[in-house]
Amino acid sequence: MGGARVAFDLSIPSDIQYIEGVVELARQRCRELKFPAQKCSLNVPVALSEALSNAILRGNLSQPHKQVRIRAIVDDDDLVFEIVDEGDGFDLATSIIDPTTIENIGKEEGRGLFLMERLMDRVESFVNDGNVVRLTLRR
């Protein structure tokens, strides 16, 4: 990412009530950076909301003393979000299911990772001073 700069960098407590504020900030940055309208109104809000819920509920198990850090990094081509929690991490490849199959479509759960993958150009999960999920959106 040549010429990359941080669009925002913040930490929130492990409480789902903070998700909407972070998503709104990301949406504003997306628009200011002149990304296509639907990417700012659909792809970013939904994918980031999923990543934040996973970090709060599954990573940090909603424990109030644990934080979730969110960094947004931008360059000419990409907008990248890094969501870091204090959990044990997970294997993205084995955790994702297809919620559109006949056996899964009627289930309440199981669409989060699928939506992140469909709405972002790249989704990575790795451990680096915390459990990191990196979402990359190309312009």
What residues line the site for other proteins (CB under 8 A)? 16-17, 19-20, 38, 41-42, 45-46, 49-50, 53, 57, 99-100, 105-112, 114-115, 118-119
- CA distances 55 to 16, 71, 84, 91, 131, Å, are 10, 14, 7, 14, 9
Indicate the helix (H) or strand (E) that contains 114.
Answer: helix 112-119
Shortest Å, Cβ 128 to other proteins? 26
Shortest Å, Cβ 129 to other proteins? 26
Shortest Å, Cβ 53 to other proteins? 5
**Residues 84, 69: contact at Cβ < 8 Å?**
yes
User: Based on CB atoms, which residue is closest to other proteins, 15 or 124?
Assistant: 15
